[in-house]
Amino acid sequence: MYADTEPGSHAPGNATSVAAAGAAALAIAMGIGRFAFTPIFPLMQHDMGLDVRAGAWLATANYVGYFAGSLAAVWLRMPTIPTVASSLAAVAFATALMSFTDRFSAWVALRFAAGAASAFVLVFVSAWALEQLARLGEGRLRGVVFSGVGAGIACSGVLCWLVDLASAGSRSAWLLLGIAALGGGAAVHRSMVSAPANSIRLRLQRVPAGREFWRLVLCYGAFGFAYIVPATFLPVMAKSVLGDSAAAALTWPLFGGAAAASTVLAARGLASVTPRRLWRVSNLVMAAGLVAVAGSANAVGIATAAVCVGGTFMVITMAGMQEARRVGGPHAQPYIAAMTTAFAAGQILGPVAIGLMPESAHPFQVSMIAAAALLLGATWALGGNHSESA
């Protein structure tokens, strides 16, 4: 697979508009398309009587969709701007339609569709924004692009909290987020068209899959497994421990706020740290958060996990994309797509593990301990390359 440009396109004159468009697109695709389910699920438990296993299967449907979308992004040749626009529209409609049905099978299909569309946005927008910012000599703004994920998570969490305070129910939350995604997607499309960067088409190409390729792919897959349990069920844990308190409701916005701030701080304050070293350190911080909440399912443990996991998962994503560009060189796009696919495969396993565990096994704690072990293994494996450069 390789990148080429669409006829008639030209470089944008404003790097800030590129960063803002990328951040907004990721906020919609990830903050809503992927993670809106997390703060809405406790509302669905109250409204629909869903249990944790039902939530695990709905989460898995989204992750399977994400896996399918990332694979399709490898094989299909598509123009960037129309693909991003149609994918953001798909996220919006799949989200809004969750409010119009009570059928579990329909929810599964809609969560699958939202996951697949989100994967397209992440792969295409990450490649588009990083390439354009590098071309403009504004790589420092990459943190702004990836902060969009955390901002979307925080905003969706606050909206769900307000919906809960108003006793409006999960249907209202899904509908409001769908409308927000549709409006935001239209704004992103206008921004990308008005300042059209060289739009990337992804096309199949032979990738030299050597040891470093597989090291990055496997470590990124371990990261996907490690973070997904708290990223999916942390508000449920918070509510079970803290009840219907403001502290429980604000756990998810805290997670998103940490994610939004972390990428900007890492891009600016840690500019001299190599991507791989930043990835390793972030793995250790995330593992500490996983161990904290697994060992102490209380307010302190939950807050620690929210900050440690929320404050590192997008830093690892950003560092992983940078490392793919460094190691892959002209093959960076297939590296990114392959890593995204491994990540999607890893995160499928977390909710499935919870869905298959008996209640007596304390599934959250068991899964998080296993995730921490995998993450520490990935940290060790990343230390094998001695040719990293800033």
Residue 303 CA to residue 256 CA, distance in Å, equals 12
Residues in the chain: 390
* Angle between helix 15-26 and 104-135 (nearest 10): 160
Are the C-beta atoms of 301 and 293 separated by less than 8 Å?
A: yes
Residue closest to 40 by CA, chosen among 137, 131, 111: 111
- HSE toward the beta carbon, residue 281, CA cutoff 13 A: 11
pLDDT band at 355 (very low <50, low <70, confident <90, very high): low
Residue 381 CA to residue 362 CA, distance in Å, equals 29
pLDDT band at 6 (very low <50, low <70, confident <90, very high): very low
Mean pLDDT of the residues in the chain:
81
Per-residue pLDDT at 381 exceeds 80: no
Q: How far is CA 295 from CA 1, 137, 366, in A?
A: 44, 45, 10
For residue 208, what pLDDT is reported? 58
For residue 298, what pLDDT is reported? 80
Domains detected in the chain: 2-382 (1.20.1250.20)
pLDDT digit string (tens) for 288-346? 888 888 777 788 888 888 899 999 988 998 888 888 878 877 667 678 778 888 888 88
The share of the chain scoring above pLDDT 90, in percent, equals: 22
Residue 139 CA to residue 208 CA, distance in Å, equals 26
Mean pLDDT for 228-249 is 78
pLDDT digit string (tens) for 360-378? 555 566 667 767 776 787 7
List Cβ neighbours of 13 (8 Å cut-off, separation of 6 or more). 195
Residue 327 CA to residue 228 CA, distance in Å, equals 26
Burial class from Cβ neighbours inside 10 Å (0-12, 13-18, 19+) for residue 167 reads: exposed
pTM over 0.85: no
For residue 358, what pLDDT is reported? 62
Are the C-beta atoms of 377 and 280 separated by less than 8 Å?
A: no
Per-residue pLDDT at 149 exceeds 80: yes
SS (H, E, C) 314-348: HHHHHHHHHHHHHHHHHHHHHHHHHHHHHHHHHHH
For residue 71, what pLDDT is reported? 82
